[in-house]
Amino acid sequence: MKKSTIPALAAMLLSLVSCTAKNTHDSTPVSSLDLQRYLGKWYEIARFDHSFERGVDNATAEYTLKEDGKIKVVNSGWKDGKVKVAEGKAKCPDPTGNPAHLKVAFFLFFYADYNILYLDPDYQYVLVGSKSDKYLWIMSRTPQLTPEARQILLDEAARRGYDTSKLIWVDQSRSIR
């Protein structure tokens, strides 16, 4: 009787592991992106909490195209009364087939997913995530979103399975430049 119990327990444990390992969110990027329109300055309106941005207010991200085709990324924000700047790079592994899926690195060659999940047709606000449901950003071309735009992005994030109650709303009352 013991021998038949062990395979049953093993099968049960495997099914539990596969259920918990399954993604419960949709991180599929939008199907098209005009990179030239996307470049420029974005204000971080909201984000999920993570150690590398904890305590940062007035955060912005600026994207410029480099001669080698990669994208220069400059993230700035106020932390502890000082302006903090992080410079990185981004690339698009599949510009024709999946242009809204980027890879971003701020340290050597350690790239992370950057998926544009929703993009306003006028390129004025965006929802960005990754393969993990632990990362989510709402950004805008202006320091404040209209209530309508905010609701569109919250609805899209929720539809994709993100827990929007975890969003931290970023103070944008102090300009960096």
Residue 90: CATH number of its domain: 2.40.128.20
- Expressed as residue numbers, the domain containing 43 is 28-169
Q: Is the pLDDT of residue 146 over 90?
A: yes
**Residue 40 located in a structural domain:** yes
At 23 the pLDDT is 66
% of the chain residues with pLDDT over 90 = 78
Q: pLDDT-based confidence at 174, cuts 50/70/90?
A: confident
Question: Letter for the amino acid at 108?
Answer: L
Taking the C-alpha atoms of residue 60 and residue 77, their distance in angstroms, rounded to an integer, is: 6
Cα–Cα distance measured from residue 110 to residue 62, given in angstroms and rounded to the nearest whole number: 20
Selected residue with higher pLDDT from 58 and 24 = 58
Q: Which carries the bigger pLDDT value, residue 83 or residue 5?
A: 83
Q: Is the predicted pLDDT of residue 22 greater than 60, yes or no?
A: no
Q: How many independent structural domains does the chain possess? A: 1
Average pLDDT (18-47) is 86
Q: Which residue has the tokens 């993230």?
A: 75
Look at residue 20 in the predicted model and tell me its pLDDT: 40
- Model-level pTM? 0.84
For 37-55, how does the pLDDT look when each residue is reduced to its tens digit (9 = 90+)?
999 999 999 999 999 899 9
152-165 per-position pLDDT tens digit = 999 999 999 999 99
The residues, ordered by sequence, that sit 6+ positions from 110 with a Cβ below 8 Å of its Cβ are none
What's the average model confidence in pLDDT over 121-134? 96
**Token pair recorded at residue 48:** 């999920």
Other CB atoms within 10 Å distance of the CB of residue 168: 15
DSSP codes of every residue in the chain: -HHHHHHHHHHHHHHHHHHHHS--S--PPPS---HHHH-EEEEEEEEE--GGGTT-EEEEEEEEE-TTS-EEEEEEEEETTEEEEEEEEEE-S-TTT-TTEEEEESSTT-EEEEEEEEE-TTSSEEEEE-SSTT-EEEEESSSS--HHHHHHHHHHHHHTT--GGGEEEPP--S---
Q: What confidence tens digit (pLDDT) does each residue in 89-121 have?
A: 999 999 889 999 999 999 888 889 999 999 999
